[in-house]
């Protein structure tokens, strides 16, 4: 909201930009994954009503929840890794990484 209020410019410290993106995208992935897990549970309850009688085991529910959190957070951690390690490669490709005058030289075969 701060970005929208500032005319689509990032007014906060630069370190918070990848964190904000990580939180935004991981919450979207998590909501979709939990809805999918709920749909699978309901399908199994309808398809196999005698096998899934009663309440689900708390340990199994916690394990599935932890797995979904791990999956979403590991997938969205690419945002933070790209922000931390991508800038050095961009600077080197643009010629700002030091070297021979900033020119990109192509060797001839």
Q: Is the dihedral of CA 13, 15, 21, 27 positive or negative?
A: negative
Per-residue pLDDT of the chain (109 residues; tens, 9 = 90+): 888 898 989 898 988 888 888 998 999 999 999 999 999 999 998 999 888 777 778 899 999 999 999 999 999 898 788 877 876 555 545 444 444 444 434 444 4
The verdict on residue 36 lying in a domain is yes
The verdict on residue 63 lying in a domain is yes
The number of domains in the chain is 1
- pLDDT one-digit tens code per residue, 76-96: 898 788 877 876 555 545 444
The verdict on residue 101 lying in a domain is no
Q: How far is CA 72 from CA 21, 84, 105, in A?
A: 13, 19, 41
The verdict on residue 6 lying in a domain is no
Contact 69, 22 (CB under 8 A): no
The verdict on residue 104 lying in a domain is no
The verdict on residue 30 lying in a domain is yes
CA atoms within 13 A on the CB side of 89: 6
- Provide the domain limits for residue 46: 15-94
Contact 70, 62 (CB under 8 A): no
Contact 4, 13 (CB under 8 A): no
CA angle 55, 29, 9 (to 5 degrees): 145
The verdict on residue 27 lying in a domain is yes
* pTM of the full structure: 0.67
The verdict on residue 102 lying in a domain is no
């Amino acid at each position: 909201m701060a970005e929208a209020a500032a005319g689509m410019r990032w007014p906060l410290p630069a370190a918070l930009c990848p964190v904000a993106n990580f939180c935004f995208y991981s919450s979207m992935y998590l909501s979709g994954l939990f809805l999918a897990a709920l749909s699978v549970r309901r399908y199994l309850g309808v398809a196999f009503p005698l096998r899934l009688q009663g309440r689900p085991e708390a340990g199994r529910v916690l394990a599935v929840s932890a797995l979904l959190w791990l999956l979403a957070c590991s997938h969205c951690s690419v945002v933070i890794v790209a922000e931390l390690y991508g800038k050095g490669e961009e600077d080197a490709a643009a010629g700002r990484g030091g070297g021979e005058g900033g020119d990109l030289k192509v060797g001839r075969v």
